Amino acid sequence: MAATLNDKYETVTNSIIASLEQGVAPWTKPWVGSALPSNAVSGRSYHGINILILWSQASVKGYTSNQWLTYNQAKKAGGNVKAGEKGTSIVLWKFLKKDEEDDNGKTVTRTIPLLKLFTVFNVEQTENVNFKAVDTVEKLEDGTEEAVFVRADEFIKSTNATIRSSNGRAFFSPSEDFIGLPNKDDFRTPTEYYAVAFHELGHWTGHTSRLDRTQCTVPFTQDYAFEELVAELTSAFVCADFGFEGKVQHPEYIAAWIKHLSNDHRAIFRAAKQATLAAAFLHETADSDEGDLEASA
C-alpha cells in the first residue's frame, strides 16, 4: 500500500508540475460547469486533492459534467459503466483507533490514518442510469451574473474580515490582521476581483486567531510557496462555488511552486487539504453571520 500511495502522490504532483511548467495552473482552467466535482448519488462535493484530480480528469477527457459515481452506484441506479471505460482513482482517508500500552504501562488510544484508493466514473462514462433516482446538486434560483456578484459581495462582507482599499496591491497583513485590496473598478473584470479577494481571504483564514497556519512573509521560501498554494487553491474552490473562473494572481509564483512540489510530492495533498479547510471556514463564517442576521431581524 505504501508504494501505491507514493506512486499516487508522485503521479498527481508530476501532472500538476507539467501544467505549471507550461505556465498554467490546472486549477485555474475554466473547468466544466465551473463547480466543485460532486458525487452523483449523494450530491456531496469531493474534498482536498480529489477536487484537483477530478477537475484535471474532466478537463483532459472533455467531460461536460462534474458529477461522478462508483461502479456499484451506477449499477444500483439501474445502469452500468460503458464497456472499455476506465475509472479515475481518488483517495479516501479513514482513521482507526487502537489501544496500546505506553512506556509507563498505561493504556493510550492512538489514531492510525489509513488511506484507501477507490475508483469513480464520470456520469458520461455510464449508460442507462436512472437519474431520477440520483440526487442533483441544488442550483441557484436566480443564476444571473449580476445576482451571483451580489451574493459574492455579501459572502465577502459576511466573513467580517477587515478589508481596506490599497494602492494597487493585494495582500494580507498577519501582524495587523487586515486585507488590502484595490478597488473593484481597478480590475479588468469583476470575476478577477473576486478571485483576488478570495485568495486574500484564504490567507486571512490562516491567522493565529482562526486556522493558525504558518504564514511566512519571506518571498519564495518553502513556507511562503506553500502558503501561496493554499491561498490559490482556496480561491479556486470558492470561485467554483460561485461559478467564477479562477486566475493565477501572480505568475512569478509559478517557479516557486514548481520547486516546492518537486522537492515534496506530498505538498499538493497537504495544500489541498488546508485549502479545503480554509474554504469551509469561510463558508461556515458566512453561514453563521447570515444566521445571526436572520435571528436579529
What digits encode the pLDDT tens for the residues 1-22? 444 556 767 877 887 787 788 7
pLDDT at 100 over 70: yes
Say if CB 292 and CB 164 are below 8 A apart. no
Cα gap 187→185, rounded to integer Å: 5
From 74, 24, 81, 27, select the one nearest 55 (Cα to Cα). Answer: 27
pTM of the model: 0.75
pLDDT at 196 over 80: yes
Q: Give me the mean pLDDT over the 181-198 stretch.
A: 92
Of the two residues 86 and 2, the one the predictor is more confident about is: 86
Of the two residues 130 and 290, the one the predictor is more confident about is: 130
SS3 195: helix
Task: Give the pLDDT confidence score for residue 5 in this predicted structure.
Answer: 57
Task: Give the pLDDT confidence score for residue 291 in this predicted structure.
Answer: 37
The alpha-helical segments, DSSP class H, found in the chain are 2-21, 49-61, 71-76, 145-158, 190-205, 222-242, 253-263, 267-296
Of the two residues 232 and 294, the one the predictor is more confident about is: 232
Task: Give the pLDDT confidence score for residue 137 in this predicted structure.
Answer: 40
Task: Give the pLDDT confidence score for residue 70 in this predicted structure.
Answer: 94
For residue 264, the Cα-to-chain-centroid distance in whole angstroms is 19
For residue 188, the Cα-to-chain-centroid distance in whole angstroms is 25
Phi-psi region of 34 (alpha: psi -120 to 50; beta: other; left: phi over 0): left
pLDDT at 159 over 90: yes
Q: Give me the mean pLDDT over the 198-213 stretch.
A: 94
pLDDT at 252 over 90: no
pLDDT at 288 over 70: no
> What's the mean per-residue pLDDT of the chain?
81
From 18, 243, 211, select the one nearest 231 (Cα to Cα). Answer: 211
Say how many C-beta atoms besides its own lie within 10 A of residue 119's C-beta. 13
pLDDT at 29 over 70: no
Cα gap 55→268, rounded to integer Å: 14
pLDDT at 66 over 50: yes
Q: Residue 62 — very low, low, confident or very high, per pLDDT cuts 50/70/90?
A: confident
> Which range among 86-95, 124-133, 202-211 has the greatest average pLDDT?
202-211
Q: Residue 292 — very low, low, confident or very high, per pLDDT cuts 50/70/90?
A: very low
